[in-house]
Amino acid sequence: IKYCYFCKVFKQNHSFVMKKIAVAIFAVSGLFVSCQTSVEDKAADLIKESVCKSLYQPESYESVEIQLDSAFAPYDLPEFYDAWLKIPEIYEDYTSAQDQVEAKKSILSIYSGSYLSRSNNYESAKEAYEKALQSLELETKRFQKAFKKIGTIVEKDSVFVGYKAQHKYRAKDDSGKPFFGEELFFFNKEMNQIVAKYDMKDEKFIAMKKTQDMFKDAIELMVEAEESK
């Protein structure tokens, strides 16, 4: 992980916001606990209806586990998850832009001698390097904006917003082959509507979790550096 570049991008952020983002990562990773039975029954009905709509063989649906808990802002808001789901792609583009700058800089250095600096190759390499720098600047701003949005979300007050459930199930695909699914659901306060759901086996969700784990250590280092000043 390029901690040095990460710190440069976020050096202007306040440590208390970074603390909240770090806490948010742990909150997303936490386990759920059970609520009262009546609420669980409502959740189970809503979950079954939602999952079966996406199955080729809905009659094959079998609930394996439902871990239900109360949901509180800001860490259980769908907007918090939606913001985090964008981070992996943004971070990949950002690091790719970094790599391009280093590559173009290396090529430019080859043509930086007194003789070669007057060649067309030097001018082309210089132009490519400058374009890479511009691209990196754009990706840096995009990266900062994405994390700033998360920082804004986690500053919201902690209030009850409904319920959440992590659900595991088994079913059959279109060929009749059994498979296991795992989804994360968010419900309203009345427990009569699903407000958001996420496929926990989806590549984007898995990438988000990996990115959160990666940034957790980086954020903690940044907070420690800020507090030691």
Q: 152 by DSSP, 3-state: which?
A: helix
Instruction: Report the alpha-carbon distance of residue 135 to residue 118 in Å, rounded.
Output: 26
Q: Which two tokens stand for residue 116?
A: 């070669």
Q: What is the pLDDT along the chain (229 residues), one digit of tens a residue?
A: 444 445 555 554 455 556 566 655 555 554 444 445 689 999 999 999 999 999 999 999 999 999 999 999 999 999 999 999 999 999 999 999 999 999 999 988 887 765 555 567 788 888 999 999 999 999 999 999 998 999 899 889 999 999 999 999 999 999 999 999 999 999 999 999 999 999 999 999 999 999 888 887 766 666 666 666 6
For the stretch 19-60, pLDDT in tens is: 566 655 555 554 444 445 689 999 999 999 999 999 999 999
CB 82 within 8 A of CB 204: no
Residue 49 CB neighbours (<10 A): 11
CB 195 within 8 A of CB 81: no
Question: What's the length of the chain?
Answer: 229
**Terminal alpha carbon distance of the chain:** 24
CB 146 within 8 A of CB 160: no
Q: Where are the beta strands (DSSP E) in the chain?
A: 62-72, 160-172, 178-187, 194-199
- pLDDT value of position 120: 73
- pLDDT value of position 118: 59
